[in-house]
């Protein structure tokens, strides 16, 4: 079964603006997949639908075979999302942000604490665990979003522009980290503006433009076309 299967996905905002015009897409388990497209193409809308922050107009979405409408809780458990914006409570401390997210996924407190420690250490944030989010640098906030998304150990991790505004050194270390968790078996999908990022990390790619899928191929054959 695919890690992600999107079938004829449509989204109309407001009175009739079609942000997604019938997208179909499969992502294989274990893949490292890039979703590319210019600003306004529909990437964030797609991700918003996957994590139930945006209501789709029609179409189906399955995460490891779990339909997000019919099997919401299984689909939710299988998915971790790193949003573009820092959408945590800035007055909450780093440890609580990650532990509370684990609670949202039903993890018992001792396991939540254990996992929070593992992922905060992996992302170099353990020393900051008592710091409020507002006291973190931009790069630390980005890493906190990733730790929070991994605490329930999702099989599919989706990142929306994970390295936007990040300096080159941190970008490289984030790349290395993402490659490691992909090699450990997590399927990864990321959206990016940087072709170099897709080229460095990803095996397969889809390009969306004006709400339509215009390309779905391997990175290698995409680069040959350029």
Contact set with ligand ADP (CB under 6 A): 13-14, 17, 19, 37, 39-45, 51, 53, 81, 83, 87-88, 100-101, 104, 149
Q: Which residue has the tokens 């019938």?
A: 22
Complex with ligand ADP: residue 14 or 185, whichever CB lies closer: 14
- Find the shortest distance in angstroms from Cβ 33 to ligand ADP: 16
Nearest to ligand ADP of 122, 183 (CB atom):
122
For the sheet containing 212-218, what is the strand order? Answer: 79-82, 156-160, 187-191, 32-36, 204-209, 212-218
Q: Which residue number, 166 or 168, has a Cβ lying nearer to ligand ADP?
A: 166
Nearer to ligand ADP, 17 or 168 (CB): 17
Q: Which residues contact 147 (CB under 8 A, 6 or more apart)?
A: 98, 116, 119, 120, 122, 123, 125
The smaller minimum CB distance to ligand ADP, of residues 1 and 111, is found at 111
> What end-to-end distance do the CA atoms of the chain give, in Å?
32
Rounded alpha-carbon distances, angstroms, from residue 64 to 29, 132, 155, 183: 8, 35, 8, 18
CB 211, min distance to ligand ADP, A = 7
Cα–chain center distance at 2: 16
Q: Minimum distance between the CB of residue 101 and ligand ADP, rounded to whole angstroms?
A: 5
Paired with 6 in beta bridges are 25, 61
Min dist. Cβ of residue 80 to ligand ADP (A) = 7
Smallest gap from Cβ 13 to ligand ADP, in A, equals 3
Which sign, positive or negative, has the C-alpha torsion 181, 187, 193, 195? positive
């Amino acid at each position: 079964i695919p890690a992600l299967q999107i079938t004829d996905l449509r989204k109309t905002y407001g009175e009739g603006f079609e942000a997604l015009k019938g997208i179909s897409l499969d992502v294989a388990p274990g893949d490292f997949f890039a979703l590319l497209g210019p600003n306004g193409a529909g990437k964030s809308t797609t991700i918003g639908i996957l994590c139930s922050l945006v209501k789709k107009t029609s179409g189906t979405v399955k995460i490891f075979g779990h339909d997000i409408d019919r099997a919401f809780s299984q689909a939710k458990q299988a998915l971790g999302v790193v949003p573009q914006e820092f959408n945590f409570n800035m007055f909450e401390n780093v440890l609580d942000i990650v532990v509370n997210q684990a609670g949202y996924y039903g993890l018992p407190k001792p396991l939540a604490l254990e996992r929070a420690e593992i992922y905060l250490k992996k992302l170099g944030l353990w020393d900051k665990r008592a710091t409020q989010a507002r006291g973190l640098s931009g790069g630390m906030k980005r890493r906190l979003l990733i730790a929070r998304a991994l605490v329930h150990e999702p099989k599919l991790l989706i990142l929306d522009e994970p390295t936007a505004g990040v300096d080159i050194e941190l970008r490289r270390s984030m790349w290395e980290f993402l490659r490691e968790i992909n090699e450990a078996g997590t399927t990864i999908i990321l959206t990016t503006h940087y072709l170099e990022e897709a080229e460095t990390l990803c095996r397969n790619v889809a390009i969306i433009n004006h709400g339509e899928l215009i390309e779905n191929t391997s990175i290698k054959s995409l680069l040959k076309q350029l």
